[in-house]
Structures are given as structure tokens and as C-alpha cells.
């Protein structure tokens, strides 16, 4: 198998002093930063014809950067015959309704059985796309709508729409506590100091904005609609905890001390033990990358959250 080589020159002054993985993501925009970081670690990146395997190496400017994106050693993700609930499909995009419990792409602790593995099986051309065409992700235990690109033009266009906040993503969730009204949470988010699999609100984090409104109120809970303006990891879950209305069933951000009257109610105590975060991506809207028309999709709440609403 012949190794493919791509070259570029870090000629822009704005790249001086930046990390190698970040510079590569700006020069080779057809690949994700995480994919390029993987190439660096696996000795597939050269700086001035010398292998560099440190993603945080600083670039001075003027270097010749070389990547080998299709090395045989990198083909670690295998196709798997996993069912995809397809809501819409054409030659450019794919809209799926992800069930809770399904991981989006392989990572630590989830080497297979993911949406990425399913895409590699059902769509042969996805192997040539960054992340098999996955544009954004949902947490493992969050259900709902995702858009996936089927070619590199659609992938780049959807990434641009996402960056420009032109993909509308709306959710429904059930939180602990009785909200008075909706609002907007504008608090930066970063990785947690100690719990590295979790995130936290912190002034040094990345800008994060979440809008929410009340759909219905119950004795101890509130059914809310949420719209993301940004898309940080665990954003909704972190923001809901921050305003002291954590999502029901959230294993990482419950932060909920059961009040005495709540604890005495056997019915609501069972709700507290709901096995996943009660969060569902119910609506998605975007400009089609080729047709340019606005397209929207809405899916109902999954059965487990519908049943939860009947219990509260």
C-alpha cells in the first residue's frame, strides 16, 4: 500500500508560537484536529522532514509540514453491522435518531460498537472522511438527532455552519426542581480539575451559551426545552447543574441533595434513580450543503422519557 503524503508550509505569521496539532488543523482543514493529533502520536507527521510525535510542539513559522493520512497502521476502526435509525438521507447528508446507550465514535473504553463503526459498514465511502463524516456528537446516554456528512464537501460545509452557529439544535430534558421561568445561561466551560471525564463552569473555560424554557412543571421536577448556541462537551448537563436544576438521572452532574419531603415520596425517589440523563435531541434545523434550502427534523421523546413524564 503506497503511503500518501500531503505537504504545506506554516507561512502565516498568525501560526507562529502555536501548537503543532492546532497548526495542522488550520492547514489541512479536511481532517479533524483529533485525527491529526493521532497522526502526530503515531509518527505520521514530519516537520522539516523530521518526525515529530509531540502534539504540543510549538511552530515558529516557515516550517515544511508533512502528514501521511492514509497509513495502513491507522486503519484501526472496523466496520460493524450496527442498526442506524435513519430519519432522512440523500446523496450528501444523513440524519439519524441515536438511541441512548450508543457511543458516537471509538475512544477510551469504547473501541467498537459505535456509530462510526456502523457508518463504516453501511457507507463504504465514509472511510475516506474525517470521523466517517460525523460532524457533531451526542453523549452516550443522550438520545436524538445527529447530522452526518456523506462527502467531503458536505462535511466541510456543515462544520462551517456549526462554527457560525447556523445549525439549530434543540433538546427536551427533565430536571430536578420546580423552575419559575426559562432563561439563558452564559457561562464558560472547561474540563474538570480532578474528574477528567467531566466538565465544569470556570472563568478560564470556552464561551458557552444555553437557552432554556419551561414546558411543564411538576411537584419536584420541570420539563424543559433547550436550545444550544454553542456546543461544548456536556454543555447542557453542566449548565443545568450550575443553576441548580440538574438533569434527572445524570451520573456525572446530578449534584442533587434529596430534600426530606422528596425522600419520603417513594414515587419521586424512584425517579431520582432514572438510569440515564433525561435528555433528548428532538429537533435539528440547517441549510442543506448542496441544495441550500432550510431543512428541519423533529422526533418524539423516546419511550423511557415518555414513561418518566407519566411518573412525575
CATH node for 170-281 = 3.30.2350.10
> Which of 21, 85, 90, 139 is labelled catalytic?
139
- Asked if the 6-73 domain carries CATH number 3.10.290.10, the reply is yes
CATH topology of 6-73 equal to that of 170-281? no
Higher pLDDT, 173 or 21: 173
d(CA 276, CA 103): 14
Which CATH code, of 3.30.70.260, 3.40.50.12780, 3.30.2350.10, 3.40.710.10, is assigned to 76-164?
Answer: 3.30.2350.10
Specify the pLDDT at position 154. Answer: 95
Asked whether 137 and 32 are in contact (CB, 8 A), the reply is no
Q: What is the pLDDT of residues 150-188, one digit of tens each?
A: 999 999 999 999 989 999 999 999 999 999 999 999 999
For residue 24, the surrounding DSSP H or E stretch is helix 20-27
d(CA 35, CA 32): 5
Catalytic residue check, 139: yes
- Full DSSP string of 97-157: EEPTT--SS-BTTBSSSSHHHHHHHH-GGGGGSGGGGB-S---TT-EEEEEEESSHHHHHH
For residue 166, the surrounding DSSP H or E stretch is none
Q: What is the pLDDT of residues 219-240, one digit of tens each?
A: 889 999 999 999 999 999 999 9
SS3 at position 306 = helix
Q: Which residues contact 252 (CB under 8 A, 6 or more apart)?
A: 195, 197, 198, 234, 237
d(CA 23, CA 151): 24
Domain ranges of the chain: 6-73, 76-164, 170-281
The position carrying cell 493529533 is: 37
pLDDT over 80 (residue 84): yes
Q: Which of 8-12, 129-133, 141-145 ranks highest by mean pLDDT? A: 141-145
Amino acid at each position: 500500500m503506497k503511503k500518501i503524503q500531503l505537504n504545506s508550509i506554516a507561512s502565516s505569521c498568525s501560526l507562529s508560537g502555536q501548537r503543532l496539532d492546532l497548526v495542522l488543523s488550520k492547514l489541512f482543514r479536511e481532517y479533524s484536529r483529533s485525527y491529526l493529533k493521532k497522526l502526530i502520536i503515531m509518527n505520521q507527521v514530519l516537520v522539516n522532514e523530521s518526525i515529530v510525535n509531540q502534539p504540543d510542539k510549538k511552530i515558529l513559522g516557515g516550517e515544511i509540514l508533512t502528514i501521511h493520512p492514509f497509513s495502513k497502521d491507522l486503519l484501526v476502526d472496523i466496520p460493524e453491522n450496527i442498526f442506524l435509525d435513519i430519519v432522512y438521507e440523500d446523496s450528501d447528508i444523513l440524519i439519524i435518531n441515536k438511541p441512548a446507550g450508543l457511543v458516537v465514535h471509538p475512544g477510551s473504553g469504547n473501541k467498537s460498537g459505535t456509530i462510526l463503526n456502523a457508518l463504516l459498514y453501511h457507507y463504504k465511502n465514509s472511510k475516506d472522511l474525517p470521523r466517517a463524516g460525523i460532524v457533531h456528537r451526542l453523549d452516550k446516554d443522550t438520545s436524538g438527532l445527529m447530522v452526518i456528512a456523506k462527502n467531503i464537501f458536505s462535511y466541510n460545509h456543515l462544520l462551517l455552519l456549526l462554527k457560525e452557529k447556523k445549525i439549530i439544535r434543540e433538546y427536551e430534558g427533565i430536571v430536578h426542581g420546580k423552575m419559575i421561568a426559562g432563561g439563558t445561561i452564559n457561562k464558560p466551560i472547561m474540563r474538570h480539575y480532578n474528574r477528567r471525564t467531566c466538565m465544569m463552569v470556570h472563568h478560564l473555560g470556552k464561551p458557552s451559551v444555553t437557552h432554556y424554557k419551561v414546558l411543564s412543571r411538576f411537584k419536584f421536577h420541570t420539563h424543559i426545552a433547550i436550545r444550544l448556541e454553542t456546543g461544548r462537551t456536556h454543555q447542557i448537563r453542566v449548565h443545568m447543574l450550575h443553576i441548580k436544576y440538574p438533569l434527572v438521572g445524570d451520573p456525572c452532574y446530578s449534584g442533587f441533595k434529596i430534600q426530606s419531603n422528596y425522600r419520603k415520596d417513594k414515587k419521586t425517589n424512584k425517579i431520582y434513580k432514572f438510569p440515564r440523563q433525561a435528555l433528548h435531541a428532538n429537533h435539528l434545523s440547517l441549510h442543506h450543503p448542496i441544495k441550500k434550502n432550510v431543512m428541519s427534523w423533529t422526533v418524539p421523546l423516546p419511550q423511557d422519557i415518555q414513561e418518566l413524564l407519566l411518573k412525575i
